[in-house]
Amino acid sequence: MPELPEVEVVRAGLAPAVTGATVLAVTVFDERALTRHRGDGAQFEAALTGRVIRAAARRGKFLWLPLEPRAGGIPADAVVGHLGMSGQMLLRTPGAAPERHERVRLDLAHPVHGEVSVVFADQRTFGSLAIDDLVATGDGAPGGYGTAEASVPAQVAHIARDPLDPAFSDAAFRTALARKDSALKRVLLDQMVISGVGNIYADESLWAARIHPETPARTLSARAVNRVLAEVRHVLEKALAEGGTSFDAQYVNVNGQAGYFAHSLNAYGRTGEPCPRCGRPLVRVSFTNRSSHFCPHCQRAPHAVGSTARA
């Protein structure tokens, strides 16, 4: 599933093409792409046609395109996108042939760049687009990366800020972990505590921090939590610089190009290979509906890390 770096790569690619653009036409080819939208395809097309897009924003794995307010005191709104497992947002020239698995197409006119089409394609149909009202952020800070407006779509408001967000609170994160008996990896994947850190980057960050994924979150010292956050940010920023992690043709940027961070992975997907740090075999264990990859020598099991974590 696309994680923060993959979604941010898409957001950054969309931003210059859509910011300030007018929606000329909307075509919904498959209403399964509107599962989070309150209306049907015809209503989605009518509500979006003629609108002006203000920006391209992101919080965690959610994207949204804030729209210029309508007349008559109607609440501000935005197009909200979630890529699900295989969703893609692609930029195409006007009149380009339909993409395989194309679900929705937005035809735009940009005042500088001219006309362009934004295509939402999704093979597995777990992704979605929706028009949703914008609500004020609880902390008064911008809603997410890419926008200066202190608002966020209502269906995204419960999602925590991600660690690359300037308004992310390290202190609040430390406090949240101190109250959690859950395994640290489980907390890192909890989108209501910290967003955008999926399975791949959690494994990579914990390997870098030398902390076992099953370590109870509350046993970590402030110093250990700071180390985890530093490694999470480092891993995410490195993945961003390399265009994200692509294991198949589904994870691409707006031009259809794959990222190459998979070549930089130290733990995830490397079961049985030597640990890049100590040379001992990496292991894979079942974790909910996923797997955890780690080094049992460098990342000591929870019963052995209690005193170290508090150091």
Query: 3 catalytic, yes or no?
Result: yes
| pLDDT at residue 70 in the model | 82
**Span 270-299, average pLDDT:** 93
Q: Name the packing angle between helices 222-241 and 4-18 (round to 10°).
A: 50
Please, what is the average pLDDT of the chain? Answer: 90
Angstrom CA distances, 64 to 57, 191, 274, stand at: 5, 17, 41
| pLDDT at residue 261 in the model | 56
Angstrom CA distances, 247 to 179, 262, 266, stand at: 36, 7, 15
CB contact at 8 A, 162 and 196: yes
CATH number given to 170-309: 1.10.8.50
Query: Is residue 101 marked as binding?
Result: yes
CATH topology agreement for domains 4-156 and 170-309: no
Query: Is residue 124 marked as binding?
Result: yes
Query: Considering 36, 284, 290, 300, which one is annotated as catalytic?
Result: 290
Cα atoms found within 13 Å of the Cα of residue 185, Cβ hemisphere only: 27
Query: DSSP assignment, residue 281?
Result: B
Confidence of residue 250 (pLDDT cuts 50, 70, 90): low
With CA atoms as reference, report the closest residue to 81 among 18, 169, 167, 148.
Answer: 18
Continuous segment of H or E residues that includes residue 172:
helix 170-178
With CA atoms as reference, report the closest residue to 239 among 210, 274, 198.
Answer: 198
Query: 61 catalytic, yes or no?
Result: yes
132 φ, ψ (degrees, to nearest 5) = -135, 150
SS3 category, 35:
coil
| pLDDT at residue 249 in the model | 46
User: Is the model more confident about 79 or about 238?
Assistant: 79
For residue 295, what are its two tokens? Answer: 């080094």
The region that residue 284 occupies, defined by phi over 0 for left and psi between -120 and 50 for alpha, beta otherwise, is beta
Q: Give the amino acid at 202.
A: A
**Whole-angstrom distance, CA of residue 171 vs CA of residue 185:** 19
CB contact at 8 A, 67 and 77: yes
Global pTM exceeds 0.75: yes
**Span 270-283, average pLDDT:** 96
Edge-first strand listing for the sheet containing 77-82: 57-59, 62-66, 77-82, 128-136, 151-153
| pLDDT at residue 79 in the model | 98
For residue 122, what are its two tokens? Answer: 């999704």
What end-to-end distance do the CA atoms of the chain give, in Å? 35
Topology, domain 4-156: N-terminal domain of MutM-like DNA repair proteins (3.20.190)
CB contact at 8 A, 57 and 76: no
**Whole-angstrom distance, CA of residue 62 vs CA of residue 136:** 17
Query: 238 catalytic, yes or no?
Result: no
Which tens digits make up the pLDDT trace of 224-240?
999 999 999 999 998 88
Angstrom CA distances, 38 to 31, 121, 143, stand at: 12, 20, 22
- The answer to whether residue 191 scores a pLDDT higher than 80 is yes
Which of 47-61, 70-84, 149-163, 232-246 has the weakest average pLDDT? 232-246
| pLDDT at residue 2 in the model | 75
For residue 281, what are its two tokens? Answer: 């075999």
**Whole-angstrom distance, CA of residue 63 vs CA of residue 33:** 15
Confidence of residue 307 (pLDDT cuts 50, 70, 90): very low
Query: Considering 51, 61, 103, 161, which one is annotated as catalytic?
Result: 61
**Span 97-116, average pLDDT:** 96
**Span 187-197, average pLDDT:** 95
Task: Give the residue carrying structure tokens 């777990």.
Answer: 126
Q: Name the packing angle between helices 222-241 and 199-209 (round to 10°).
A: 130
**Span 105-122, average pLDDT:** 96
Angstrom CA distances, 175 to 61, 203, 214, stand at: 23, 22, 19
Which of 95-109, 151-165, 247-261, 270-284 has the weakest average pLDDT? 247-261
* Domains in the chain: boundaries: 4-156, 170-309
Which tens digits make up the pLDDT trace of 126-184?
999 999 999 999 999 999 999 999 999 999 999 999 999 999 999 999 999 999 999 99
